[in-house]
Amino acid sequence: MPFVADGRTLINHAYTHRFAIPAFNVCSLELARACVMAAELERAPVILQTYPGDLEQGSPKVLAAMIRALAEEASVPVMLHLDHGDGQERIVSCLRAGYSSVMFDGAALPLAENVRRTRELAAIAHAAGASLEAAAGSFGGGEGHDEDAVLTEPEVAAALRREGHADLIACSVGSRHGQASHLDLARLQAIAEATTAPLVLHGGSGIPAEELAAAAKLGVVKVNIGAALQRALLQVWRHEAGAAPQHYDIYTRAREVLIEVARDKLRIMGGSGQA
């Protein structure tokens, strides 16, 4: 199936039909392929994304080419997103490489500055035929994010949507990077009503299944999943690498485990059968 070139098409489809899509952080063929294979088994669309740390393992051009090649051989829609984009240079490099969507994380800025820069970068993303995600709060937690969380106020999310022209709004409503956490569904509902726009959750690995399902019904279309994959992959390597006669055996076993992790997230969020 063709690669999803413009993320807005898949985002709007998910928003209209009230299901969420896991956005899996990947930096290697084994991670990306396992997530695509899981999506095919579930007949679900999937988002693959790269965090700035992932881009140290391969440039935007290299990772985009790999994921495009996987998408062309896949039977389900595959979208590519930049997670936690930290400025215009990185965002533009990913758009030039052919990313479907990019995030600008301006949550640490004063609101007026966050809105202004979001608006500028949204115009660039839209000119490139891609979508832009804005940050209306911060998520804290582990996995390289040790700062305290800042919960999203509905009026901040609304400003980023209406004045910043963002296509998706990342909302901090209790989830934390790399940690078990619970969502404040009342806050999420207030944000959904204030924005009437597609929403995003970060720190999805630790959110209980029933809360993820409820979030999708409130307009969450994208949920970031990183730690669940990282931990599963590392566990296979740590526990089985010593006895393996060849590295191919470890790749095979890791792929099996990663597929099951990804399938579980796809089912929980209502994406199964949506491709």
Q: Please state the rounded mean pLDDT for residues 109-137.
A: 97
pLDDT at 143 (0 to 100): 47
In tens, the pLDDT along 40-97 reads 999 999 999 999 989 999 999 999 999 999 999 999 999 999 999 999 999 999 999 9
Homologous superfamily of domain range 7-268:
Aldolase class I (3.20.20.70)
* Mean pLDDT of the residues in the chain: 94
- HEC-encoded secondary structure of the chain: CCCCCCHHHHHHHHHHHCCCEEEEECCCHHHHHHHHHHHHHHCCCEEEEECCCHHHCCCHHHHHHHHHHHHHHCCCCEEEEEEEECCHHHHHHHHHHCCCEEEECCCCCCHHHHHHHHHHHHHHHHHCCCEEEEECCECCECCCCCCCCECCCHHHHHHHHHCCCCCEEECCCCCEECECCCCCHHHHHHHHHHHCCCEEECCHHHCCHHHHHHHHHCCEEEEEECHHHHHHHHHHHHHHCCCCCCHHHHHHHHHHHHHHHHHHHHHHCCCCCCC
pLDDT digit string (tens) for 131-157? 999 999 888 765 455 567 789 999 999
Cα torsion 235, 238, 239, 242: sign: positive
Cβ(20)–Cβ(270) below 8 Å: yes
Our answer to whether residue 83 is catalytic in this structure is yes
Q: What pLDDT does residue 265 have?
A: 96
Portion of the chain with pLDDT greater than 90, in percent: 86
pLDDT at 243: 80
Per-residue pLDDT at 142: 54
Percent of the chain clearing pLDDT 70 (strictly above): 97
pLDDT confidence of residue 180 = 86
Q: Which of the residues 83, 105, 146, 264 is marked catalytic?
A: 83
